[in-house]
Amino acid sequence: MTRLPLEGIRVADFSWFGAGPIGAQTLATFGAEVVRVESEAKVDSLRVVHPFAMNPDGSFKTGYNVSGYFNNFNASKLSMLLNLNSERGQEIGYRIIEKSDIFVTNFTPRVIDKWNLRYEQIAKVNPRIIAAYAPMQGMEGPHRDFLGFGAVLTPVTGISEMSGFPNRPPIGVGTNYPDYVVNPGHTITAVLAALRYRNRTGKGQCVELPQLESVVNVLGTAVADYLANGNNQTRNGNRHPAAAPHGAFRCLDDATSVASPDRWVVIACRDERQWAALCGAFGQQASATDGRFATLAARKANEDALEAVVGEWTAGRRAEDVMELLQAAGVPCGVVQNSQDLLDKDEHIRGRGYYRYLDHAETGRAAYDGPGFRLVATPGELRAPAPLLGEHTMDVCERILGMTADEVADLLAEGVLA
């Protein structure tokens, strides 16, 4: 049986919501044993938000274990309930950290201080620990205790300013993008670098990842453009300075599309060859030499008219047909896919087996996101569905911490465990 690359590594996951747990799940996917420390006094809010699994009669299931949101980002973990607001609970927390290689949290410094989980404190318990702190604004600074989510980060980092159409309010990216991609990816990269350092030197270290500073990276050239040219980049819709047409174009509605029949394709022409190929594919060869559109500069100068013409051509066709027609002609084009497309219709994603189907005790069989990358020799895998709230408290106490059944019973009676 192929060993996973992080087998033998234990992670103390003291995080919640998105950025922390998603990063820790990546470690679990590649073999680490991840102990998700939770509290029944303040349940992770992702456990109580939609989408919820449905009953056979069409009603939604209820409880702390049926959120598709939470379950998708916590597969292959153990769940332990621990009251960190008590001195005894903090002692148990230290024992978990002592038995772990990696500590992950994205709580604010205020909470970290309250629970006595600063690096200098936990390093006394375990000098080899790699401790990753990912609060929104960092561990120090004027805004260190500010709360926030991805929906807050997108405006404060400048992403929302650049998202939307000119002369309209900023709209952001429509999802908590930083939580899913940027911050977990940067956190895990830093943790693995620290793990490699420890393997060489035997020394642990603290990793600080202010989510604010992590997310600013996705602005690309915007800051450099302002620094060098004084140009403050802002919303430009779907347009691009080096391509025309460049945008999303409406196609025929599709009544089989759940919730919304709207269908769209995206098209991009970077040079005259691609523009001529697009015109030829639609049987409109004369438009390739139309003075308004013959060159990139001309197309940019007449972009409203250009988009109206292309939109008229796509409006009477199925999105998939337009994509195949233009791709065959060498024109960059793709369907604007929705969730239904990705899960049920995309033959490439299905053929690669990206979505993994797991059986959960309360939600039944459900699709989980697969690993975001693959290692040929040691591929990651989702070994188990997301845990039920507190499902592994007894296992962690007995197997990892070496407690007796009587000790566990006493802690349960005291309210330290649940």
Identify the active-site residue in 179, 262, 304, 341: 179
Q: What is the C-alpha to C-alpha distance for residues 85 and 116, in angstroms, rounded to an integer?
A: 10
Neighbouring residues of 30: CB distance < 8 A, sequence distance ≥ 6: 4, 5, 6, 371, 375, 378, 380
SS3 at position 221:
coil
Structure tokens at 341: 């497309």
Strands 364-368 and 356-360: antiparallel
Encoding tokens for residue 119?
A: 């690096």
Rounded-to-5 percentages of helix, strand, coil across the chain? 40, 15, 45
What is the full DSSP assignment across 306-335? HHHHHHHHHHTS-HHHHHHHHHHTT--EEE
The torsion angles phi and psi of 96, rounded to 5 degrees, stand at -65, -45
Is 179 assigned a catalytic role? Answer: yes
Question: Residue 283 corresponds to which amino acid?
Answer: G
- Helix count (H) and strand count (E) of the chain? 18, 11
d(CA 215, CA 222): 13
Active site residues: 179
